[in-house]
Amino acid sequence: MYAIIESGGKQYKVSEGDVISVEKLAFSVGENYKFENVLAIVNEDGSVFGTPFIAGASVEASVLAAGKAKKVIIYKYKAKKGYHKKKGHRQPFTQLRINKIEA
């Protein structure tokens, strides 16, 4: 059984016990979070797709960690002009464990 959920403008395929990293959520470690934006649920009986979301469906997850991803370097330059610009960015994330999928 798996579900497709939406979080932070992205879609994730999850099943029970999975550990995923999503865009930063305002929850601390140990708290539970419930995804209400469930796009699809597929199990052995069949599949259910929402328009765009499934009414009454939810996915429960617990927060494992919060942190920042590896640094991404943005480097711009123009040849023969002496123009160089270097920036770095670390995207914040929240790591979740999927506990239960409710249809």
Give per-residue pLDDT as tens, 38-92. 999 999 989 999 989 999 999 999 999 999 999 999 999 999 999 999 999 999 9
Token pair of 85, please? 């610009």
Query: pLDDT at position 63, please?
Result: 96
The pTM score is 0.83
Contact in structure between 5 and 11 (CB atoms under 8 Å): yes
Query: pLDDT at position 53, please?
Result: 94
From residue 29, give the alpha-carbon distance in Å to each of 6, 33, 37, 39, 52: 21, 11, 22, 26, 30
Query: pLDDT at position 7, please?
Result: 94
- Give 103's pLDDT tier (boundaries 50, 70, 90): confident
Region 8-27: mean pLDDT is 95
Q: Is the pLDDT of residue 9 over 90?
A: yes
Query: pLDDT at position 38, please?
Result: 95
